[in-house]
Chains A and B, each alone.
Chain A
């Protein structure tokens, strides 16, 4: 079965652009990325799109389909009706390079700022031993494919360009959580870093990152909120402070 679908694709670059209408063939079992490729092959050879795996694993094809941030390769055409116009735009939180391709270097800058995994002193590479129950929580966050859809959707930076400096974004808050929960990470300042450098206080836990994550990582519930609680423990809770002072409480 195939039909002709109506598509509206944003074309342009940093100096300006617009939504352009297309009519394009759609076949059974196809995804939005297939249709974008067909446009490239048949109607506009210069349409820029970034992709690699077409399997939802490389995190390259992030865009917004009908206004919702998604992976184009994981958005089935069968979720739309045949008469519906499908609108595809680049991610709207990052600078656009051309057409559907954005410049996501904001994310790489934030990644570089996080202090690396730090095993305890005297434990050499190859000697890392840990129990599954201890490392389980961190593993959920390792599923991240760095598609940056969460970063794109988070209103803290999406709606406020000026916050980009102070806020690291959900992807890197769960990186902080991953390391802080890791049984072999010896740093004890991850929560302080999350508060002072990553701006965790700017997140108002409205959960849009969780809603768009294609890996279904429970970013807010399992990463950001536990991290916020750790920040409370280190910086805001007078009882914990007292407990630490008199040495009655150990993590």
Chain B
């Protein structure tokens, strides 16, 4: 504390904060939820099973795109690009770093983990425990500036998840069918789009970077819509963690036979 609120010249107050409310609660919740989610994702991606419901073509987002020779043949609806996967290696191993990178460099998640994991700061007006601080000016955190590239990739990934959801309109007899799983996958894809489009980089690129909106009416319209979504970016970040988990869990349960899919048509 010596270099911060305890610096010479400042009002000498021996406590790191005088906040009496439960300021530690929100970061504790964020920490717990993110750790639980990551553990779930780690277990599920390395399981190499229960990721596909062949009868209805439900593919979990955690294994999409399924393009290795180890994938169920019907799950490879975008082709087979790679050979057999050794045990424990996630089938979508090449895509997961991109997804992780997108969320790790996301302006909202940055706030969340800087506060909850790095305690920098743990909450507002609560002194942080670190003696030195350089923010995002140096390696590795300077790499946060690459966020827009992850955004471009995330657009492609959202597209892929949408394709998977359409593939989920698959009935028992091979024709068109709709089940609860289809709805779950569609909902997930829709929220992934909302999250991706509400991104701050998207807001900048689509129009925010312009100086004169009046000269670009269409981009101004687009910017207004993205800006409106952007105010919900945090909520969408959490909602998509939820929809991803629910989608994967539902497909895992149906694929393992623990649950039968609720069918609306075929």
Contacts and interface: CB of A to CB of B under 8 A. Distances in A.
Interface of A: 10, 12, 14, 16-17, 19, 64, 66-69, 87, 89-90, 92-96, 102, 131, 133-134, 153, 155-156, 158-163, 181, 183, 199, 201-208, 211-212, 221, 225-226, 228-233, 236-237, 251
B10 A134 contact: no
B220 A68 contact: no
Nearest to B112: A206
B128 interface: yes
B12 A208 contact: no
Most chain B beta-carbon contacts within 10 A, residue among A95, A159, A201, A237: A159
Nearest to A232: B145
A95 B120 CA distance: 22
A211 B111 CA distance: 13
Contacts of A201: 135-137, 142
B9 interface: yes
Contacts of B10: 92-96
B146 interface: yes
Contact of A206 (B121, B203, B213, B230): B121
Nearest to B208: A226
Interface in B193-207: 200-201, 203-205
18 contacts: A10-B11, A16-B12, A67-B20, A92-B5, A92-B11, A92-B125, A153-B124, A158-B4, A181-B211, A183-B212, A202-B137, A204-B111, A205-B110, A205-B111, A208-B125, A221-B200, A229-B209, A233-B204
A181 B130 CA distance: 35
A231 B145 CA distance: 9
A67 B18 contact: yes
B111 to A, nearest CB: 5
A211 B124 contact: yes
Sorted nearest first, the 5 A-B pairs with minimum C-beta distance are A67-B18, A67-B19, A202-B135, A208-B124, A159-B4
B76 interface: no
A107 B266 CA distance: 68
B37 interface: no
B127 interface: yes
A66 B137 contact: no
